[in-house]
A and B are shown apart, each in its own frame.
Chain A
Amino acid sequence: MPMHVGLVHFLVVSAVLFSLGIYGVITRKNAIMVLMGIELILNAANINFIAFTRFGTMNISGQVVAVFVIILAAAEAAVLLAIVLNIFQQMNTVNVDEVDKLKN
């Protein structure tokens, strides 16, 4: 490990964030908690993009891709929240393991 903070430091932070997101996605049953795990994973990916923009040979394109990731995350959160609200009205639960009916 180099002495000064460099590319690897940011990548390690991103890897830890990614693993925590994976853990959250596979342990939580509440759909909103699963969404929070997904947001952690997307943030980890964005840190990677921007770290490579800064330290790698990639030019500013990495930041543009990060903008698209943020846009997708916002759209995904809106749609997922709408679905969760609808499921809650129909089935009175938001735990993903209890939502196991295709029809009522």
Chain B
Amino acid sequence: MDWYDILFYAFAVLTIGSAIGVVFSRNIVYAAFSLLFTFFGVAALYVLLSADFIAITQILLYVGGVLVLIVFGIMLTTRAQKVEVKQGFIRLLPPVLVAGIIAGTLIGVLTTTKWPAAGLAPYEETARPIGALLMTTFVLPFELASILLLVALIGAVIIARREKTRRV
């Protein structure tokens, strides 16, 4: 039990605990706030996996982008007097069963599989090889992703814009 293990368990508990908060919270604002800690916990797990570039990207894009979008969506679509999330309590058993079965199956398979034990490589910086791979092996997905981002940007603006002239 060294520092690595202690840090891992701390961040794993943070991640899963806040994810439970996201899923089970009655208040949508609290759920979004828990999601913040989930994203930070996942970024910390990336650091423990020596993926520094991905960890920074996670914080910048998820915490700085996606979470802000989600909070904007909550503010714009939720009225102040009815903040509670509508949830069907009568049919709560089947989803718990489904999620439990999925989790049990996955964990059972993961813990019984004999994974190939590769020697742990020493830490090395990841930004440079990621950039090189993006420009060589993954250049087609990279360009497609840029086109997708452009399309998503234009599409989001067009969809969300309030149309003044046309009465729908």
Instruction: Give me the interface of A with B, judged by CB distance under 8 Å.
Output: 1, 4-5, 7-13, 15-24, 26-30, 32-33, 35-37, 39-40, 43, 46-47, 50-51, 53-57, 60-61, 63-64, 66-68, 70-79, 81-86, 88-90, 94-95, 104
Given contacts A60-B126, A79-B152, A81-B156, contact A36 B22 (CB under 8 A): yes
In the complex, what distance in Å separates the CA atom of A37 from the CA atom of B38? Answer: 12
In the complex, what distance in Å separates the CA atom of A35 from the CA atom of B77? Answer: 14
Tally of A-B Cβ pairs under 8 angstroms: 223
Question: Would A70 and B85 count as touching, CB distance under 8 A?
Answer: no
Interface range, B side: 35 or more
- Residue from B12, B38, B129 within 8 A of A40 (CB atoms): B38
In the complex formed, the residue of A with least CB distance to B71 is A32
Tell me, rounded to whole Å, the shortest Cβ–Cβ distance linking B132 to chain A: 9
Interface of A is mostly: helix
In the complex formed, the residue of B with least CB distance to A94 is B77
In the assembled complex, which residues on chain B have CB atoms less than 8 Å from the CB atom of A51? 49
CB within 8 Å of A: which B26-47 residues: 28, 31-32, 35, 38-39, 42, 45-46
In the assembled complex, which residues on chain B have CB atoms less than 8 Å from the CB atom of A72? 145, 148
Question: Would A78 and B51 count as touching, CB distance under 8 A?
Answer: no
